[in-house]
Chain A
Amino acid sequence: MNKEERLIKRYKAEKRFQFYGKAAIFMALLFLVVFLTKIFSTGYTAFQKTWLVIPVNYNADLLYLDPDKKPTTEDINDADFYEFGIETFISLDPDASEDQIMELKKMFAFTFERELKYYLLDNPDSFGKTVDVKLTASDDLDQVFKGNYPRDIPENRRRASDYQLKIFDKLNEDGRVISEFNASFFTNADSREAELAGIASSFMGSLFSILVCLSIAFPVALLAAVYLEEFAPKNRFTDFIEVNINNLAAVPSIVFGLLGLGVLLAVFGLPRSTPLVGGITLSLMTLPTIIIAARASLKAVPPSIREAALAMGASRMQTTMHHTVPLALPGTLSGTIIGLAQALGETAPLILIGMVAFVNTIPGTPMDPAASLPVQIYIWAESAERGFVEKVSACIMVLLFFLIFMNLGAQLIRHKFEKKWN
């Protein structure tokens, strides 16, 4: 092989190598696009909610109220809206048989009683009149309307019966089926009924967990990193600690969950299923990540700055607090945010400490039972109802939004505030 041929070969090898690199990037992007497309196409419908607008006759007799007197709030609260609701549904098809009445009822979310009551409470003038009221459609009809549910499978294997579909289509023709932004997805807690389930409890659970995690992990990690990097003598013992911190960062998160279960719940008796315990468990997991980031940023502060401060007669602590730590803070903060983003997406340890429980209330403090966003995804993904499929994707979208938001924040801090040393 002569020189010329070898040169050509080298050029070819380089071209090939670049091609492999580009192909790898293309593959990664392709996976990302497929993944995001799938989630968005499945999930976007969860942000829409289907309502059935039906004529309701707030007749005094049907409500067992005095027709001559305007009912007080108390009267309305005491009235029986279940029977009233059934009567209202029958008005959709006066010839309905006993079974069909039940089917009519199942076209609506079980909250119809409350919805009918609240409408009257909000519009007391409707008393004695027939008005159009917006009621939440059942998840089956919701899915049918969104086109997520095939109508052509045999009736006995379909959740929405032919009769329900007939009534539904008639309502639809009259323009009585409307689709609106699903605010309740963000304001409702979890529910067994897909049409009512929301992420408020898991969102608050995640928020509280992350806050607890941050308030424990950040100060502890910063102090540990500062001590190890700036004060501790370099000997076997500190080497041992360093190795163990790195090991801790590699421990599978489920192990921390077991620790939380065994120590926080069993020994200290902290309340089960609460963001407090979740946050403490997550902080154990986040701790090594922040320590490593903080130590790396402290290491990146040039020794000349420390020397400058020491030579000015600053004590070691003044040198650290006035110069080294402030200069290392941007890197530490971005490491912290990355660590918190990991914690936010963590599921396994939270399942072990009981944050997988079905929680249909919105937690007000970290001591109240709650779920978390990733656990909510897990819970819904396990549910059989078709209505939860889109909820899973929607919850993933919310989680991804926060993760991307946090990572962008970390990037921003790094680019904007981190000092460049030449």
Chain B
Amino acid sequence: MNKLSTLALTICTSLAIAQSPVNSSMFGVMEARQLGPGTMSGRITAIEGVNNDEGKTIYIGTAGGGVWKSTNAGASYKPLFDKYCQSIGALAIDQKNPSTVFVATGESNMRNSVSIGNGVYKTTDAGSNWKKIGLDSIEHISKIIIHPTNSDIIYLAAPGALWSNSKHRGLYKSADGGQTWDKIFYIDDKTGCADLLIDPTNPQILFASMWQFRRQPFSFNSGGKTSGLYKSIDGGKTWKEITNGLPPKPFGRIAMTLAPSDPKQMIAIVENAKTGLYISADGGETWKNQGATMNTVARPFYFSTIVIDPKDPKRVYRPAFQFAYSSDGGYSFTEASGDGGWVHSDMHALWINPSNTNVMYLGTDGGVYMSVDKGITWHFNHALPVGQFYHVGIDLKEPYNVYGGLQDNGSWTAPSAAPGGIGNASWKRVGGGDGFWTVPDIDGKTVYSEYQGGNMSRVNIETAKAENIQPQKTSKEEKLRWNWNTPIVTGSKNPKNLYVGAQYLYKSTDQGRNWTKISEDLTTNDKKKQEQEESGGLSADNTSAENHCTIFTIAESSLDENLIFAGTDDGNLQYSANAGTTWTNVTPNIAKCGVAKGAWVSSIQPSQFDKNTVYVTFENHMYGDFNTYLTKSTDLGKTWVRINSPEFTSFAHKIKEDVENKNLLFLGTEMGLFATVDGGATWFRMKNNIPEYALVRDIQIHPKTHDLVLATHGRGIIILDDIRPLRNLTKEILDQDFYLFQTPDIILNNGKFGWGGSEISGDWSVGNPSETPTINYYLKQRLSSGKITVEIYDEKNNLIQSIPGTVRRGINMISWNLRGLPPKVAEGSTKMDVAGFTAPMVLPGNYTVKIKVKDKDYTGTIKCIHDNENKDLSPEDRLLVYNKALQLQTLYNQVNNTVDSINIIQKGLKEDSTAYSKNKNAQVFYDDLQKVKAELMATKKTSIFADEERVREKISSLYTNFCGMESKPNTTQLQAIDDLQSEYNTQKTNYKKAITKNIPKNLELKKKLGL
């Protein structure tokens, strides 16, 4: 046993060594900003509300943004699921105990870009804490139903894997609140359970629709002989197939519903050769075909929702391509009104408040809408930042802009900072359709954007006018094959080079006005993978989403513009060292390091430090393989090593090398962002207010601001500002108990982004990055006892300000407001005086920062420099403003000192209240002083809206003006200082007069106070 424990200990120790010396929590103080937007949201997959809560509590499941909760009927939302898988298939609330909620991960709207899940989660405290309860391998789940009278019984419909055969699909049941599950209905490894109903009046009756389906990278099939509609009358023990009145098989996906108020009334939309809507009035035993309008039958694999009103069996809703409703039990449908504006097409979820059925929430490909008139008109919820970006571009402006294309929501741009922060109004549309690459040109006014299948434009940002620039084939060439997500890339070495890829690579040096084909077909050109016109299965579905044998990624070396790499969706990686004259296919060399053959080349990162080094990610999820493939070559593709880590989860989208530290790399996968600071030897998951399993599709690092910019497929654009602490954390620093980083030079101003007012209610908004560099230090261990104080000294060693330091393990960031100490404020006013929080900004110069850590001192320097970009304020002006502010501060102190003196005497007079009430002289003295005090400062009891201005308030106002001044003061402002000095002098004289007049009559007090 001893030997064994030694062995186990050794193994554990070696595991510990293999772990990264750093982790995300060491940088926890660096919190990413989620820019949204909320102006266009993302695909919503599930909506559930608490029934007996006046419709206030709503849970929203999204395609790639986790779960969000509103407790105020959609006025605001909070994310609940940031530590878990972000692809949500289904939600269920236990209405008998609404704190219990189930989340099934893995969306089941089976489009090409759908993500996968990793299990079912349960909360018993309304979302504060979650536990994974199993079913990890199902991948896609469409529904969870809790038994209406016994909350321990739960049913779960699992279409299952999209890209492979799977034994995990089918219908599951739990009898113990989700702790254990039995698969109670299974047909085969190709056929899953797409939809599920329970009869609320007799929960032994269940309906299940079984669905055979499969995607391949180049085709989709919905339908097969094993699809069908089934009924159980014994709680799911046995099932019989229902055929009476239904069309001939094969079927595709079947969506179905029953009327909760009259469960024998049922509707089903059955995908088959002639997809149609079917109605049953006898609990599903017999069916009649009633219609086939476009909105009820289009794209059954994608639009699988139909709902009957909880109270009215005649009122039926069909959220699909458009929103349609029926008032006659599904016989005829009307489309929702356009009043109030366009409602995003492509709908997947609907929740009707059963206690007020006028109110309903709709989930679309572009967010959540709410209706209060039974679905006739809709309001958009603007605060759900769950947009699904594919890529992100950045420019070099200040502040810089981000650009990106979204699934079903066009292409957009927004500044990284704006007056008051980034809100929905900061975003501007640059393209339509499904958006992908959105790339700014170096000229500062042009952006290249596209929609699905390579339809690309050159867009003038200022005029929003777009010119199509897609290269066309010559008569001698094959039809061009453009990926759904066609690469448009500008050169990393020469940003005037513009590249786009079909099966050939094209290059333009004049913004897409002319193109040169710089390669032959770089793909495998496998004809069997080019039959997209046959795609869809029972319903044709050919939207360029299955286009294959195309170039998917392009990269120009930042060290040599002639060195170009191209990767394809069918596994080819090729490079040219002569700007495209000749190409070398390095694909065969890669297989040796364990990358699956034919895997998509998802990103290429030529090293910025060595021409022969290149990092490449591959992904093979469309063949059911979710491994993380990250590879590196240091000999220009001759040999490869695979970089792996136990931390990695799911397939890889993007590898990014830092622009300054070659050992710092970031990897974006379908489930998370990972970083290494040791060149890839060890990795850790990035958290930092980034959802831990975010679908990270693209990564940029800004060369000027050092920001890490992420395109997530479900949480919009995310920026982690200024990653220099991560970049600079060397092993030498990590070994020290404490390390003070050099503070970058501080430009003295009141920030650079301006004031933007208050955010509009109901919008998503996020703040700006810190406008002033922080004082950063590293602590090896959290300080449990003792404190840290950060002190700033000027060149004459005067203490300017003392700031409490934080004690967290890892990086600590301390903000100094660039000011000294504010003046003291005398007691007795009825108003808060803002001057008491204000001090003039320090002057340019060298400052010392002294950090006291328990009994040890560490010192560093801070250089503060004049803001030369501010033409309104010369260095001489700055000095004038500073001196005048100090003059006002002195005056302010004088006022407060006089008030303090008055307070002391008044207190002295009143101390013996019995004597005071009988002492006329004391009362007169008190009142005389009170008159002076009432002139010196506001003393009336009043509300914050009453502007009582006395000498102190006037000085305070001018003083705070000077403290915030960033231009030369005007003459009236300067004159006002002298005037206020005179006003004070008058009151000072009055004060002295009151003393002289009253002291002889109050000699006892004189003695007591030593006057």
Do A and B come from the same complex? no
Question: A residues engaging B (CB < 8 A)?
Answer: none
